[in-house]
Each structure stands twice: as C-alpha cells, then as structure tokens.
Structure 1
Amino acid sequence: MRLLVAPDAFKGTFRAPEVAAAIGRGIEAAGLEPPDLCPIADGGEGTMEALVLALGGETAGATVRDPLGREIRAGFALLEDGATAVVEVAEASGLGLVAEHERDAEAATTHGTGDLIAAAVDAGAGVVLVAVGGSATTDGGAGAIEALREAGGLRNARLVVLSDVRTPFERAAAVFAPQKGADAAAVRRLERRLDRFAAELPRDPRGVPMSGAAGGLSGGLWAAFGAQLEPGAPFVLDAVGYDERARAAFAVVLGEGRLDATTLHGKAVFEAATRARQMGVPAHAIVGQDRLDAFGKRMLDLQHVLEASDARDLEAAGSDLAARLLSETRPG
C-alpha cells in the first residue's frame, strides 16, 4: 500500500516539502512503505521550490528592490538545462518583505520583480515562469514594466504567468489591496490609478481573467509583453507528474494550512482532489485548520480530513491516517 503525499505549503508555517516529509515519516512509522512525496503549489509561494524538486535545476540570485524600494537579495531558479526560469513575485515584491506597520498599497512597487525577471533573462532563460502569489503591490505591474524596459526588455524571452486567482485587472484593488494596507479611500484611489494605467498600456487588461493577480501585475505583463496567463495549480500538477503518480498510488494525501471555502476556487488542493476523483483514486487531507463544511468536502470527495498544527502533529496525523487505511482494508 503506497500513498502519494501531495501537500501545498501551510502558509506562514511550513513549506510544502516540510509538510510532505513530516506526513511521510508518520506513514512509515505506522508500518506502510515509504510514500511518494510530491509537494505541490498553485502559482503562489512555494511554486519555485515544487518545480525545482520535481524537475531538477539550480537556484541563482540577484540584487533587486523590495516593495518599498530597498535593495535586497532575491532568488530565482533555472530548471533543467537553464532554458526555463522560475521567478516568484513573493521573493522581490512580497507582502512578507514588508513589516505590518510599513504596509502601503499605494507606494508598494513591483520594480523588484522586473529586476528579477531581467536577471533570469540575463542568465539565458528563454521562458520565464512568473508565480504571482503573495505580493504586497497594487501597481498594475508598472514597476516591473519599467524595470524590464530599463534592462532592455525580454530579448526574445517569453513570459508565462502562473496565477492562483482568476480576478480581472479592474478588481485587483477592491479584492486584494485591503490586506496590503489600503483603507477604503486608498482602494478607490488605487482603482482610479489602475484604470488610468490600463488605458495607457498597449493592450487593455481589464476584463481578462487572471489579469488582477499580484495587484494587476499579471495584467500589466500580459498587456506590455504578451505574457501568457495560466492557472497555477494545473500547470504545477502537470509539471510534477501528479496524474501518473496518483494513478500508481493506493490513495493520495493532500494538505494545506487552512481548508475552507476559498479552497474550492482553484487552489492546489482543489485541483489535486478533483483529478483524484476523476481517476478513481481515494483522496484524504491533513490540514492546519479544517473550516470546510460537509458540502465542500463532498465536492472534493475527501474521505478523511485530519488537523495538524505542528511538525509532531503532522507526523501523528500521518500515522493515524495510515492506521485507518490499514484497518479499513483488512478483511472482516
């Protein structure tokens, strides 16, 4: 009985590989064979690590500007032969780089993300995957566009934006700016600023699904550089070979920090559970908090959902789940 352990990160607590490893230790302790560990992501934080672990590659770094213009070192990845790079917006323009008392949705810039994309192009990447979750910004990508133009543009490289939301450009301020420090008046100002900026771009990103991700960064890159916008979860699951690995498993064990109604809107766990159901592979979940109602669990067809708040709990939950599966498969 071999399980596939495919968790997303527990945001702000554990990286996806840490979650997978802890659950895996618990499963082995219960007497099952070592599971297949497959950390996943949805285009947010952790996407770069999930892709490097699955596909191989190396990390590199560059000096960039953080959301408030301060110089920092940020990382990006070069996959396999170096022809494809992965840039996470959170590395250069992330909310985690700004202390809570410093958050300023109107001042925050994506310039550093543009610096990081330019560094990936300088390193020889012909395709740059941009994972856009976790940003501190609502500038419509203005800073990133400026930085890329200062660096000489994309030089025949191609951008693919991996989005964890479907929000269009014109909704970016209303939906995301409040968590980035904007009050109601600031949201209105940001909406007006984004509208003006959209009208100045070579193409109008308003109304385009996923163009509002990272405060409109995805729409700005789409409009200025022809970036391809892709839902992050399906892209990552395809890249890590999830379907083939799930078919080879007795069951899949998913995970995320909080299982709730937002899980049903394109998150990695939703995509992974949906695929498992379509393949006829039982799915279970170990989560930090379970706030999804019974109807939502039926939609995902999750058979067991266990909670775990720390590394010890994750191991224990892995053991508990393994013991339940062993008990359920014993004759009689």
Structure 2
Amino acid sequence: MKIVIAPDSFKGSLSAVEASKSIERGVKKVFPHAEIVLKPMGDGGEGTMDTLVAVTGGRKKTVWVTDPLGQKVEAEYGVLGDDKTCVIEMASASGLSLIPKEKLNPLKTTTYGTGELLKQALNDGYYSFILAIGGSATNDGGAGMLQALGMKILDAENKQIGFGGEELDKVQSLDMSDFDSRIKASEFIIASDVQNPLIGQLGASHVFGPQKGASSEDVLLLDSCMTNWANIVEKHTGVHLHNLPGAGAAGGIGGAFQAFFPSETRRGIDIVIEYSKLNEALLGADLVITGEGQVDFQTASGKVPMGVAQAAKSNNVSTVVIAGSIGKGIKELYRFGIVSVNSILNKPMTLNQAFERASELVEESSEQIVRTFFHKQINLKKEVLQYEN
C-alpha cells in the first residue's frame, strides 16, 4: 500500500507541512504499515516558500524590510537545498497579511520591501530566483520594488515619486542609470497563474483592487494611474504592458518583471511539483490525498488540488481532496481525475472553532476517506484474519 499526501496549506490554520502530517496520522490509523510519502505543496501564494524550502531541505534567512505601509517588518527569503536557488515570497514583505483590514489602501501601499528582499539576496550572492507573487497588498505596478533596486521614477520636477498606486499618475520619466546591474546577469522564474492584463476591466485595479481595500472610485483612479505608468514603461522599454497577459498579477508587479527582468512566468503549482519531485513519488502509488482551505470553482484555475490531480492522472493514480469548506463549481474538478471532494467539518461550528480544531479535523477526515476508498481491501483483510483464527 502506497499513499502520497500532497496538500496545500489550510489558510489561517495549517501550513502545508502541518496539513501533510495531520493527513498522515489519519492514514496510519487504518494502515499503520503503509508506505506514506509526504509532499507538501504550494501554488505561488503564501506558504510557497516554506513548502519549497521544506521539500528540498533548504533554509531561510530573515531580513528587515519596508512593509506595504512604509513601516519596518521582518521578512524572510528561502534558499533551496541546492544552495543556489533563492525563493522570495512577495507576501512576506508586501502581503495582505501584514496590514490590518481597516488599513488596507492600495493608493498608498508599496512593493518597496519586495525589492529590498531581492537586493539582500543579490548581496548574499544569489543569481537564480523563484518569485512567488501571490497575496500582495499592493497596486503600484512594481514601482516600489524597482525603486528599492536603484531605479529613479521621476515626476515633472525630476523628483522621485512617493509610495503607492496613486503616485503612478505623476510619473514622467525613468532613470535606470543606477538600476542594479546584477539583475541582467540573473534569472527569474515568476510563480503565478494570473493572466490578467495590466489595465482595463480585467486589469489589476478592477479585478484585484477591491480585495486590497479599493473603493469603486479608487479603482477608477488606480486604473488611470496604472495607464500612465504603462505608457511611461513602454516609452522607455518598448514593452506594451497595457494588455499583456500576466502583467496585472500582484497589483502589476507581474508587468514590472516582464519589462525589466530576464524572467519567465510559470504556474506556481508546476514549479512546486517539479522541485518536490512529485511525479517520481507517484510511481506505484495507490492513492493521492490533497486539499486546501477552500475548494470551489477557482480551484480549477491552477490551484494545488487541480495541479496534483493532473499529475496523478498522468500516472494513473486516483486523487481525493479534503477541504476546510466547499464552494460552488466543484463539478469542474472531476474531469481532472479527482474522485471526490470532502469537507473536514463533522458538525456545525464557527470559523474560529474550525481553525482551532483544524489538525484534528483533517486527521479524522483522512481516516474516513481511506476507510471508504479502500473498504474492499479492509474487508478482505478482516476475512483473512477471521479464517486464520
């Protein structure tokens, strides 16, 4: 019996590593001697760095940086087990989780801290980067990050603009004479499954601005400011970010990478699958158990359960999903090889109660899933034991 355990984090309660161990405990209640392979996952959002560090035997370094509102905060970057590849998680320096909900304001928030993380990693001698850009609190087109790396973003009076998305309306020119020259000699893989353009109804401001605290009026202002930014970037680089797929990722930082960095964008889950060697682990497996906090129609757009199921299907292995909650549109998931989607909740409870009991609930749910999936083997084993006795 071989079972592969490959969940994402359960946001607010369990990391991917913790969720993996909870599932393992549930499986062992049924099959204590089974071969169990733990492969915690991530999709480019929060927790991706921790996952990649864990599965490769890497390490993390703490750095003081500027948070989205201009205050100092401790952030981390990871170094993979090869001691060559650096993982930077944007959320660590510029994420939504760093700001109280009542203070969210994409007119003011900056990506400067993400640039500081990058600069420190460059100073530490790294030239190969994976950038996980999910969970940002910003809508500044990556301008803050570029400033931290030496670019001068100038207004009509030839002065540096301030922090935040509203400042992009002031941009008149770019001075790249002090932009960190080591960037050209480095390679950057951007972990993102967002295909939104930079501006317009499907752009960064309209689609992601509201979840970062933007009012309807703010959204219109931010999109106008971002349009000016796109015009100036095109004037200096020739790169037309306006409707470029992926440029709107993480408040437009995706566009900054496309215009100013030697980079390629890949689905976050594909990167984690590669570095975790999930496909190798799936060889000879009888079942894969994956999961995340919320499973719904968005899961099919490149989230962990879908990516894991696709890999499992290509290896002729069935996948079962566990979830903190189940939303609309999960039928779409079944065509990717997912057998069933199962909630961990076993009775009515508040969100806080679910968070507090998450480890226990995941363990119990995993035990029941395994009992159901392998009921024929379990019954056969009972019959053999009865015969022998």
TM over 0.5: yes
Name the aligned partner's letter for residue 310 of structure 2. T
| Aligned pair partner of 2:271 in 231, 235, 247 | 235
> Would you say the 8 A contact 2:7–2:39 is kept in 1?
yes
Question: 1:203-214 alignment to 2 at 5 Å?
Answer: 203-214=239-250
| Cα distance in structure 2, aligned partners of 1:295 and 1:221 | 35
Deviation at 1:303, TM superposition (A): 1.7
Cα deviations by residue, 1:122-178 (Å, 9 ceiling, x for unpaired) = 111111111000000011100001111268515122222111322222201111010
More displaced 10-residue stretch of structure 1: 5-14 or 178-187: 5-14
Instruction: Confirm or deny: 8 A CA contact 2:296 2:330 kept in the other structure.
Output: no
Pick the aligned partner of 2:180 from 134, 142, 153.
153
Distance 1:257 1:300 in 2: 19
- Secondary structure, counterpart of 1:256 in structure 2: strand
| 1:195 corresponding residue in structure 2 | 227
| Aligned residues of 2:291 and 2:304 also touching (Cα < 8 A) | no
Q: Which amino acid aligns with 1:324?
A: T
More contact order relative to length (CA 8 Å, sep ≥ 6): 1
Counterparts of 1:74-153 in structure 2, within 5 Å, are 74-149=75-150, 153=180
For the pair 1:165 / 2:165, whether they are aligned, the reply is no
Q: Which has the larger radius of gyration?
A: 2
Q: Which residue of 2 aligns with 1:26?
A: 26
The answer as to whether partners of 2:289 and 2:321 remain within 8 angstroms in 1 is yes
SS at match of 1:257: strand
The answer to whether residue 375 in structure 2 is matched with residue 327 in structure 1 is yes
Q: Take 1:230 and 1:219, find their aligned partners in 2: how far apart are those partners?
A: 14
Q: Cα offset for 1:4?
A: 0.4
Q: Please give the alpha-carbon distance, in whole angstroms, between the structure 1 residues aligned to 2:3 and 2:208.
A: 37
RMSD: 1.7
Distance in 1 (alpha carbons) for counterparts of 2:306 and 2:295: 10
Q: Higher mean Cα deviation, 246-255 or 302-311?
A: 302-311
Q: CA deviation at 1:275?
A: 2.1
1:41–1:236 contact (8 Å) kept in structure 2: yes
For this pair of structures, how many residues does the alignment match? 332
Deviations 1:62-116 (A, max 9, x none): 1110000101111001123432100000000000000011100110000000000
Q: Using the alignment, how far apart are the partners of 2:283 and 2:300 within structure 1?
A: 23
Taking only the aligned residue pairs, the percentage that are identical comes to 32
Which segments of 5 or more consecutive residues in structure 2 lack a partner in the other structure?
152-177, 345-353, 384-389
Q: What residue is the counterpart of 1:49 in the other structure?
A: 50
Could you tell me whether the CA contact under 8 Å between 2:106 and 2:214 is conserved in 1?
yes
Aligned CA distance change for structure 1 residues 109 and 307 (closer, same or farther; 3 Å): same
Post-superposition Cα deviations, 1:263-298, rounded to whole Å, max 9, x if no partner, equal 011112111112222321111011111224463242
How far apart, CA to CA, are the structure 1 residues paired with 2:148 and 2:106?
19
Aligned with 2:363 (options 311, 315, 331): 315
TM-score by length of 2: 0.82
* Aligned position for 2:37: 36
Report the secondary structure of 1:61's partner residue. Answer: strand
> Which deviates more from structure 2 when the two are superposed, residues 309-318 or residues 126-135?
309-318
Structure 1 229/206 Cα, relative in aligned 2: closer, same or farther at 3 Å? farther
